[in-house]
Amino acid sequence: MKTKSLLICFLLCIFATVRLFCQQIEDKVYKDHIQSVRLFPAGATFDAATDSPVIPLRPVKPLVLLFDDLAFDPELYTAKLIHCDADWQKSQLKDNDFTLTYNEFNIQDYEYSVNTRIPYIHYRFELPNVTKSGNYILKVYRQREESDVILTKRFMVYEDIFKVGASVVPPSQTSDRNTSQQINVVANYSAGEVTNPEGQIKVYIRQNQRWDNAKLLAKPTFMNESSKMLRYESFDGSNTFDASNEFRFVDLRFIRANGVNVANMRVETDVIFADGSIDKPRPETAYSQYLDLNGQYIVETKDRPGGNPEVESEYMLMTYRLAIEKSSKPIYLVGALTNWGEAPEAKLEWDSEMGVYSTSLLAKQGWYDYQYAYKENGQFVTQPFEGSYFETENEYEVLVYFRNLGSRYDQLVGYIYLHPNRRRP
């Protein structure tokens, strides 16, 4: 009996360890005091933080991690890289297979916030170079204790080995032509040692930097072995995305005045409260064209011109409200501000006094995009609240992975960025 109990405990420990590691292979913030986490290629423009964390293997373009710790004193935070396969499982590569130095990096670049009601420490970390392409996880933990994780972020490093092309076209299925966008892909694999294209090559498409609705193009619709060409032009909707609508937004760059779509701003001694205008569903309204950030957000303040918004912007408690009848289905706030619906605060609650759904989350001054959605079969569905129009401006990324014979990892051998109906310079 004692041996049996020990065996059960051992198996439970293994299960807990595996479960914890699986949770760490995703974009997630594990601590409430860690806010405004962003990972993006270093750029000179103020909106570089909205760019996707995808960089070429050569020439090297650094990725930058930014985050805030709502604290008075700095912590010792450590970063580590994890190489993953195309399906985001840890690859068989060892650390020294893809890193040039020991795979543990102290985050030493930080600044204190300047005269903010909620004090915080702003951290900046430039990721080290890697020697292999593919999918990666950046894991940040506290006091060199790898189990005490504060955040994990995905990023990709690609090589231009395969020639890849892609285009956005009206869907093949006539019923979806007004509401969806189809992405056709063509890949030439003549530069690789490919003997089994369907087994060695994987093609993924994602919309607006989201992984929750990314699509795997499992089987090409056309394959020409003589010209080493694959085409993915499905007729069953497997490469079709709901186009949705332009994102709603709130302008939180001001604290002494109400920004666009902000109904009320209350500045207290130690905290700031902001209430958004009451939103309404818009599934049947005519399509309206305007600029958005495709679900991302930008940190910026207009209260202190010429300063550093990363350390001078205030944090505020922002409340979002949606006016609909009480529903049996849970409703979520989706966008980068809630990690696309995965943050605990993403779920709206019914406010019986006002007769609306609402949720409140801590937000740094800036510009925030968002939408409302139901969650059905593990997927967020925005169309009942937002409508869907083929004309909507979205961004798409096509990622082509290749597993060489005898290789221990998936190379990212092709990358295409698409921005249909683009209106921003």
What is the pLDDT tens value at each position of the chain, 425 positions in all? Answer: 555 454 444 434 434 444 444 456 899 999 999 999 999 999 867 788 999 999 999 988 899 999 999 999 999 999 999 999 999 999 999 999 999 999 999 999 999 999 999 999 999 999 999 999 999 999 999 999 999 999 999 999 999 999 999 999 999 887 888 999 999 999 999 998 999 999 999 999 999 999 999 999 988 999 999 999 999 998 888 899 999 999 999 999 999 899 999 999 999 999 999 999 999 999 988 888 888 999 999 999 999 888 899 999 999 999 999 999 999 999 999 999 999 999 999 999 999 999 999 999 999 999 999 999 999 888 999 999 999 999 999 999 999 999 999 999 999 999 999 987 676 55
Beta strands (DSSP E) in 170-257 are 180-188, 201-207, 215-216, 222-224, 229-232, 240-242, 248-251
Domains of the chain: 26-158 (2.60.40.10), 163-243+391-418 (2.60.40), 248-386 (no CATH)
Beta strands (DSSP E) in 189-270 are 201-207, 215-216, 222-224, 229-232, 240-242, 248-251, 262-267
Instruction: Tell me how crowded residue 325 is: count the other CB atoms within 10 A of its CB.
Output: 6
User: Between β-strands 105-107 and 149-158, what pairing exists: parallel, antiparallel or unpaired?
Assistant: unpaired
| pLDDT tens profile 95-151 | 999 999 999 999 999 999 999 999 999 999 999 999 999 999 999 999 999 999 999
Structure tokens belonging to residue 57: 């293997």
| pLDDT tens profile 85-95 | 999 999 999 99
The pair phi, psi for residue 14, each rounded to 5°, is: -65, -45
Half-sphere exposure of 154 (CA within 13 A, CB side): 22
Whole-number Cα distances in Å, 225 to 44, 142, 194, 228: 44, 51, 10, 5
Instruction: Tell me how crowded residue 252 is: count the other CB atoms within 10 A of its CB.
Output: 30
The pTM of this model reads 0.92
Structure tokens belonging to residue 190: 């003549």
pLDDT, position 17 = 41
